[in-house]
Amino acid sequence: MLKKLIWNDVRQNKLLSTTTVFFMAVSAMMLALTALLFSSLLGSVNGLMEQAQTPDLVQMHTGALDEQEIAQFAGERQEISQWQICRFLNLDNSEITLGGHSLLDSTQDNGLCIQSERFDYLLDMDNNRPGVLSGQVYVPICYRTRYDLNIGDTMRVGSETFTVAGFLRDAQMNSMMASSKRFLVSEWDYERLKPCGEEEYLIEFLLKDGADTNTVSAAYTRQRLPADGPAITKPLIRMMNALSDGTTIFVIFLAAVVMLLVSLLCIRFILSIRMERDKREVGMLKALGIGRGEIKRLYFSKYILFSVCGGLLGLGASAILQGSLEQQIRELYGASDTGAQAAVLALCAVAAAEVLILLSVWHSLKKTDWLSALSALFPVREQKQNRRRYLLIGSVAAACTFLMLLPQNLYSTLSSPTFVTYMGIGNADIRMDIRQGADISLTTARLAAALEQDGQVERYAVLQTGSLPAVLSDGTTCNLIVEMGDHTIFPVRYSEGTPPVLDNEIALSSLNAKELGLSVGDTLQLRINGAETRCSVCGIYSDITNGGKTAKISSSANNSSVIWSVLYISLKDRSASARWMEAYSQMGADVTDIENYVRDTYGPTLVQLGLASRGATLIAVLVAFVVTMLFLRLIVERNRDAISLQKALGFTSRDIGRAYCLKGFLSAAAGVISGLALGSLLGESLCGLVLKSLGADSFRFIIRWEILLVGIPAIILGTTILAVLMGTAEVQSVKAYECCTGRE
């Protein structure tokens, strides 16, 4: 009997039932997708890092190196289980050609290396350690699609030719955010090509389980061991690996949350419509002596059926979509063996979504006073319901706007030229790095002199980096990587304070400030050019370069302490930059177009984010359309009598429809406005939280106002107008005489 009642009801209310199941399925699908992708990304990244045996700590170093010193350090520290020094032959990008494409415009440091001995292995596409014959090369996987490479293509380094024998997964440098890319060659070729490039060292440590990377890193720095280059830790590597795909998953997750909220709203609402519609039957059931609890159970079992259907549909859909979305993850990091775990996680996510929906339905059922529903004065209630329906249209418009806005804001922020200031790079057009050569300072001075004479240069700044010994107020000593020069010409983003101007001022990157426990106004002792100087912290800035741990002072360095120097330049005429850069790269500097650099670094993330943004737009448009149309239809349906009466009295369909359209449209417009506000404020703090962990402080969206104020409102409002028009088209079909006959 119960089965029959449920089944008949589902059949009679096809639209409402389908809509309910649809919402349940979509929320389930998106949450399941988030879970599946998240666990597969983490699984793949972790799997690769495990197989490659990624080091816990990597210190890069250019210049002379005493292996004995490091061996002694490793022997003394008990946390260190293994160590090794990997050689990396940094090549000049202009010398490299990959399958016909020159790497001249690449902003990565491309170089050769041989397979490591003890850990940090470079793996092939089956996650095995490939054997390389002489004349063969294994190319980083991220270049495969970028340069459209196949096995058998050639790679040229100067006059030498290699055959691409396969592709490499480099657990440490896979991400475009890692600044170097390693090509694997045979030892014989490596030695032969040595004169073509500059050799650098990766000093790598594998720690015992449970050892703290930071203490080892601090000890290393304290002992003044070779550290002319950035240091990287395993968590940072993991983060860089996960970030570009993680961003997409983050957007999918957000969309899932918004979808779940919309579903909760709509399902509860559909329930209240059903109960309105069933008032008479419920009364009859009660008259027959069926209790209130029994009726509630009748309704609830219907929703359990719906949620099982919706959950299964959602799981199925997510399994279908998973494959295509996972492709990039699988290519970069290999398949994960977490299939079962992912499935369980997805199942949990779906179950959580459905349970949440069912709880809200139960709450709704419990709250409703059936008695009052029976004796309700129909017209008064109806008006209140109308208002709630318009409110719902508004909330859904707000949610959809939010959903579109957030990825869009993220995208415009990451693609904006000013975003580099969050990365710790000044907002200039061009950057020149001088990291190699006998005398860095001399080269720097020569370039600076040339720039001074150059008529095309608008402004430029010379920043020289040294590793300076510092003494904190509690007596501990350490080496700080300090950038010296005028920091006011191309300032980075300061979350607190100002750039250093006076000789005794120092600015710290936010990660450094946190680690050293210093804030604006505190002091530390620094040996600058041989003289002990008491410096006060004048500002804290955002920096994610060099592992995010840097400092800035205004006094210029003397020659001996400089590890590398960077020149920032802005040109009067940006369009002529290519030829200009060409000229300067002859003078011993590594010249980079900053826009190119950002595009290279964030390119994959941006492509993903662009996709996610488009996907979010599609979902938002679909949801806004379906919900708005559905609810206007319901409003018209519920007001059928009133509409018919108005028609009998001589109102035209257009007059009546216009009133409904206007109300529907105004609710949507109000929703869009609140969605914009919500997306800008809440979204900002949400993303800020994520970026803060990377070292980018005081995050602000860089907003493209024309999209925010025109594009998104136009899309959502356009969709709602269409939906409103279609939803109110039903007004036409209402007959004037319906009100006279007393329908049904």
Partner 1 sequence: MKKLLRIEGMTKGQILHQITFDMEPGEMVAVMGPSGSGKSTLLYNVAGMDQPTSGQVWLGDEEITKLSEDDKARLRLHRMGFVFQQMNMMGNLNLIDNILLPATQANRGRGRKSKEELNLRARRLMEKLGITGLEKRKVNQVSGGQLQRACICRSMINGPEILFADEPTGALNKSAATEVMGELVKLNREGTSILMVTHDSRIASSCDRIIYLLDGQISAELTLGKSVSGVEKRREEKVARWLMEMGW
Q: List the beta bridge partners of residue 483.
A: 465, 552
Of 372-380, 404-412, 461-469, 620-628, the window that binds partner 1 (rule: CB under 8 A) is 372-380
What are the helix (H) ranges across 278-338?
279-287, 292-333
C-beta closer to partner 1: residue 611 or 642:
642
731 interacts with partner 1 by CB under 8 A: no
| Phi/psi of residue 103, nearest 5 degrees | -90, 15
C-beta closer to partner 1: residue 587 or 740:
740
With vertex at residue 715, the alpha carbon angle to CA 712 and CA 718, rounded to the nearest 5 degrees, is 140
C-beta closer to partner 1: residue 69 or 655:
655
> What number of CA atoms fall less than 13 Å from residue 308's CA on the CB side?
5
Beta strands in 596-717 (DSSP E): none
Site string for partner 1, 589-628 (x = CB under 8 A): ----------------------------------------
The least CB distance from residue 377 to partner 1, in Å, is 6
With contacts defined by CB under 8 A, how many residues of the chain interact with partner 1? Answer: 26
**Binds partner 1 (CB under 8 A): choice among 68, 324, 742, 744:** 742
Cα distances from 176 to residues 146, 231, 596, in angstroms, run 11, 17, 13
642 interacts with partner 1 by CB under 8 A: yes
729 interacts with partner 1 by CB under 8 A: no
Q: At what angle are helices 2-12 and 292-333 packed, to 10 degrees? A: 60
The least CB distance from residue 393 to partner 1, in Å, is 19
Q: How far apart are CA 686 and CA 692, in angstroms?
A: 10
C-beta closer to partner 1: residue 210 or 650:
650
Per DSSP, the three-state class of 184 is strand
Of 90-98, 309-317, 377-385, 703-711, the window that binds partner 1 (rule: CB under 8 A) is 377-385
The least CB distance from residue 382 to partner 1, in Å, is 7
650 interacts with partner 1 by CB under 8 A: yes
C-beta closer to partner 1: residue 389 or 493:
389
Of 145-153, 489-497, 520-528, 645-653, the window that binds partner 1 (rule: CB under 8 A) is 645-653
Which two structure tokens, joined as six digits, stand for 141?
């996987």
> What number of CA atoms fall less than 13 Å from residue 290's CA on the CB side?
14
| Look-up of token digits 């008479």 | 280
379 interacts with partner 1 by CB under 8 A: yes
Neighbour tally for 128: CB within 10 Å? 10
744 interacts with partner 1 by CB under 8 A: no
649 interacts with partner 1 by CB under 8 A: yes
**Binds partner 1 (CB under 8 A): choice among 534, 654, 658, 700:** 654
Q: How far apart are CA 186 and CA 312, in angstroms?
A: 52
376 interacts with partner 1 by CB under 8 A: no
Edge to edge, what strands does the sheet with 154-157 contain? 101-102, 96-98, 154-157, 160-168, 136-140, 180-184, 109-113, 80-90, 198-207, 57-62, 231-233
**Binds partner 1 (CB under 8 A): choice among 22, 300, 362, 651:** 651
739 interacts with partner 1 by CB under 8 A: yes
The least CB distance from residue 656 to partner 1, in Å, is 10
289 interacts with partner 1 by CB under 8 A: no
380 interacts with partner 1 by CB under 8 A: yes
531 interacts with partner 1 by CB under 8 A: no
**Binds partner 1 (CB under 8 A): choice among 533, 558, 653, 680:** 653
Per DSSP, the three-state class of 118 is coil
645 interacts with partner 1 by CB under 8 A: yes
Of 90-98, 156-164, 460-468, 730-738, the window that binds partner 1 (rule: CB under 8 A) is 730-738
Q: How far apart are CA 168 and CA 143, in angstroms?
A: 10
C-beta closer to partner 1: residue 169 or 647:
647
The least CB distance from residue 640 to partner 1, in Å, is 12
User: DSSP secondary structure string, 462-520?
Assistant: EEEEEEEEEE-TTS-EEEEEEEEE-TTSS---EEEE----STTEEEEEHHHHHHHT--T
Torsion of CA 414, 418, 420, 423, to 10 degrees: -90
343 interacts with partner 1 by CB under 8 A: no
Distance of CA 94 to the CA centre of its chain: 32
C-beta closer to partner 1: residue 351 or 659:
659
With vertex at residue 199, the alpha carbon angle to CA 223 and CA 145, rounded to the nearest 5 degrees, is 115
Q: How far apart are CA 113 and CA 5, in angstroms?
A: 73
**Binds partner 1 (CB under 8 A): choice among 8, 194, 235, 378:** 378
According to DSSP, the β-strands at 160-168 and 136-140 are parallel
648 interacts with partner 1 by CB under 8 A: yes
**Binds partner 1 (CB under 8 A): choice among 327, 383, 476, 685:** 383
The least CB distance from residue 738 to partner 1, in Å, is 9
Which two structure tokens, joined as six digits, stand for 701?
């969206």
**Binds partner 1 (CB under 8 A): choice among 375, 519, 652, 693:** 652
64 interacts with partner 1 by CB under 8 A: no
438 interacts with partner 1 by CB under 8 A: no
Which two structure tokens, joined as six digits, stand for 576?
């002529």
Of 323-331, 420-428, 453-461, 649-657, the window that binds partner 1 (rule: CB under 8 A) is 649-657
Question: Amino acid identity of 550?
Answer: T
Residues at the interface with partner 1 (CB under 8 A): 377-380, 382-383, 641-642, 645-655, 735-737, 739-742
